Amino acid sequence: MTETIGLVILAAGKGTRMKIETPKALARTAGRALLDYVVDAALGFAEDSGLSAEVGLVVGHRKELVEAWLSTHPKRDQLRTAWQQEQKGTADALKACFLNLPHFWNYDYTLVACADTPLIQASEFRTLFAALQADPSLVGVAATFDARDPKGYGRILRGHPGFHIVEEKDATDAERRVSEVNSGFYILRTRHVREVLGSIRNDNKSGEFYLTDLFQDQFSVRPVKFPSEEPFLGINTLEQLAEVTSLLRVQKLRDLMLGGVEFLNPATVHIDHGVIIGAGSIIYPNVTLLGHTILGDRVVVESGAFIRDSEIRAGSEILANSYLEGALVHEEVTIGPMARLRTGADVGTESKIGNFVEVKKSKLAKGVKVSHLSYVGDAEIGENTNIGCSFITCNYDGVNKHKTLIGSDTFIGSDCQMIAPVSIGDDAFVAAGSTITKDVPSGGFGIARASQVTKDGAARRFLKTKKS
């Protein structure tokens, strides 16, 4: 029969030292909430280990924000919240979980994790679980490590058969000198929790209910020491948040380089955790790639590009200082330098968007060229159409937005305005300098400019310095 596990994540803490409005668990690093990392690691571990799992999030401070986060989470079916009204300590937090979610008592195992440790991965939980499973008489294991600076952590005091944990506040000087500390990550057999949790008291220096009291010398419990403290690094300040963000950055860049992505100067690039980049791509210095951005194979991104929630397909190039948000760029396209693609820009295969061109909510078919200084908004442009310099879709009449439709193999001369709604057919030609207010049919020629008047010798009437 499949074994079951309750993954309890303690997230009721206010994170006072962060000095931010949101609950600490929702503070963001590399484009995701701290909680996202821990939830992924815990669920990933359960899945790898063939355990049927559910997450219990213990929430307190501004719980409505955590609930809002949860409601859009892709794995929300596996996530529950439990409200801890008053923060009376970590044991009280676990109690709040069982009180709100009593079916968690039925799970074979209970995993406890903190919400503010984004470097934790499924592999740490696997190691911890393997230690518990290796000895059927064990009822609980705690992840520990030798801390460079043990200050603030509970110290591990190894006993027989088990061990116990003394919190810094309650420790003697000798106990404080112990460098092995408690990470705050545990896996327990739920029956052990059921036997002990209710009897934990708060007669200590903090007056808090300590979850660490689940571990006592007389219980069959064991500390599992990890070789590095990095995976367990918790975040209490914005400075620590920045440090962890740089560690995540290095991890992300390493993964991408292993996957065949070349960075000309990796130290200057920022890439969010969720960004995907295909092999053979080249990323220049000072590039920012955020959110759900996906770059296909062999994509080149030059310096100063800022790309958020956009998809750039194979072989395309984003030239220097371009700004893309919510855009879709098909294969073998050139964007920029200094172009701006806004939400809903959909640029077809082998198209070219040149410098100082802005495209918004417009679909450009294959081979379209808008090479210089233009605004394309609420438009559809057909295959191989060429748009001259300084083109403007006048899409907004002050109240509503209107569409501009341009067919395929059409030529629009430089400095044309399209007063939308308006449509230009296939194989049409619009003369330079035209302000188009009426449709031009397929094969048609449109011109809308005043004809020129030239008067010999009349310039001197307009020139300031008169020649006698």
Which one-letter DSSP state was computed for residue 440? Answer: B
Of 182 and 385, CB closest to ligand UD1: 182
Least distance (Å) between residue 238 CB and ligand UD1: 16
Q: Exposed, middle or buried: residue 282 (CB in 10 Å: 0-12, 13-18, 19+)? A: middle
Least distance (Å) between residue 195 CB and ligand UD1: 19
Work out which of 120, 165, 339, 341 binds ligand UD1, going by CB under 6 A: 165
Q: Which two tokens stand for residue 197?
A: 């949790």
Nearest alpha-carbon partner for 115 in 61, 193, 165: 61
Would you name the residues annotated as active-site residues?
372
Least distance (Å) between residue 204 CB and ligand UD1: 9
Q: Rule CB under 6 A: is residue 425 a binding residue for ligand UD1?
A: no
Footprint of ligand UD1 on residues 127-156 (CB under 6 A)?
153-154
State the number of CA atoms in the 13 A half-sphere of 259 facing the CB.
17
Q: Rule CB under 6 A: is residue 182 a binding residue for ligand UD1?
A: yes
Footprint of ligand UD1 on residues 360-399 (CB under 6 A)?
none
Q: Rule CB under 6 A: is residue 56 a binding residue for ligand UD1?
A: no
> Tokens 């030529």 sit at which residue?
411
Of 114 and 359, CB closest to ligand UD1: 114
Whether the CB-CB separation of 446 and 436 falls below 8 Å is answered with yes
Least distance (Å) between residue 167 CB and ligand UD1: 5
Of 150 and 377, CB closest to ligand UD1: 150
Instruction: Classify each residue of 128-149 as buried b or exposed e, where b means 16 or more C-beta atoms within 10 Å of its C-beta.
Output: bbebbeeeeebbbbbbbbebee
Question: How many chain residues bind ligand UD1 (CB under 6 A)?
Answer: 27
Q: Which two tokens stand for residue 129?
A: 């679980």
Of 152 and 443, CB closest to ligand UD1: 152
Least distance (Å) between residue 404 CB and ligand UD1: 54
Of 11 and 287, CB closest to ligand UD1: 11
Work out which of 234, 278, 348, 413 binds ligand UD1, going by CB under 6 A: 234
Cα 408 from Cα 462, distance rounded (Å): 44
Which one-letter DSSP state was computed for residue 290? Answer: E
Nearest alpha-carbon partner for 300 in 308, 310, 448, 287: 287
Which of the ranges 208-216, 244-252, 287-295, 429-437 carries the binding residues for ligand UD1, by CB under 6 A? 208-216
Work out which of 37, 129, 145, 210 binds ligand UD1, going by CB under 6 A: 210
Footprint of ligand UD1 on residues 83-122 (CB under 6 A)?
84, 87-90, 92-93, 114-116
Whether the CB-CB separation of 138 and 222 falls below 8 Å is answered with yes
User: For 160-305, where are the E strands, in sequence order?
Assistant: 163-166, 180-189, 221-226, 262-263, 270-271, 276-277, 282-283, 288-290, 294-295, 300-301
Instruction: Using CB under 6 A, list all residues that contact ligand UD1.
Output: 10-13, 58, 84, 87-90, 92-93, 114-116, 153-154, 165, 167, 181-184, 210-212, 234
